[in-house]
Chains A and B, each alone.
Chain A
Amino acid sequence: MRPAWVEPAASNQPQRYGPRGGTAHEDVFGTERTRSAEEVPRRFSEAVRAECEEICGRYPQRRAALLPLLRVAEREFGCVDLGAMRLVAEVVDVSPAHVWGVFSFYTHYRRPGTGRHLVQVCRTLPCELRGARAVWERLRSRLGVGDGETTPDGRCTLKRVECLGSCGTAPVVQVDDDYHEGLTPEAVDRLLAGVLGA
């Protein structure tokens, strides 16, 4: 008989570890949210299929088209979910796990459950030096949500991300497809009143 204590934890729930603590990370990547959403079968229309073929044709290997095709899937289905990843895997001829790995590496694709607006706050060093933390704190307190969370009304999903590639205009926040540059907490208030309608 094996003693009961040796069985590993059956779930993926956060657990404490070690004398100094240490906790399972919060779902800032949205991975758990993506994983736990029920898989919906996804299909591309003939026209989108043709668009996919055109994109694949730009590269020497089909798998190189993976990132732009995830964008296509995001546009078609409103987010990249498990069904979309399985579909893209089939189009570029790689395993679904490979797509899952590539997709989850990036923060900028919309996960299932993402609000109408996706607010990405850069937290890499140049933005940090130029006041990103104050910008983040203002967004967080005004929206009342934490990293990776969505407002209860489904309007905004807030997350901190790595370099958005606009260090010259730091600190930067990306709202959907647009950069908002050189922000201050006051500029955040204007942004919230304007685009985000909060």
Chain B
Amino acid sequence: MSEFLQRSVEYLPILLQGAWLTIQVTVGSLILSTLLGLVWATMRVSGIPILMWISASVINLLRGIPIIVLLFYIYFVMPDLGLSLSALQAGIIGLGIAYSAYQAENFRAGIEAIDRGQIEAAESMGMSWWLMMRRVILPQAFRIVLPPYGNTMIMMLKDSSQASTITVAELALQGKLIATSTFQNATVFTLVALLYLVMCVPLILLVRHFEKRGQK
């Protein structure tokens, strides 16, 4: 045990650097996926056929491509097309785009769960589509969407480890590097797992809070 602690003290600074990158990737891609997801979802419920078609196609395309392939594409293929990104940028954009499809479906479900009567009440007082979204639909959808949104946050935190495949030295990759150079697999990966868990706990509590509030 004391050996474990001793090594932990030795590896932790490096792993914490990785954890910091994990947080950057997660927060960045969370923001991007939320914004893009809102765009897809709004297009999907707009009632305008071309926008609905585009949104549905994009969502299905993204759902059909593994995140890792998307990351490779952005990091290794885009430079050929003249767009070079740093590994961190590519990781954030790749994960953000990949997750925007799931965010969009979540948002759409929330919007479509709103009672039809709410839309009619808003329409019958002369609201425009956008005013109705802003004042009536989205505030109500927001509460419905929060618990699944929290779950997506947790999944994104863990999936940020996929950015390691394009050399983002986040927590999982740092762990692997230390493990290969020291052969202390058990110690290193136990620490890595603990660090992920520690980062997840606040999110898990947040989801529970959302769920409790949603029941009221």
Answer yes or no: are A and B bound together in one complex.
no
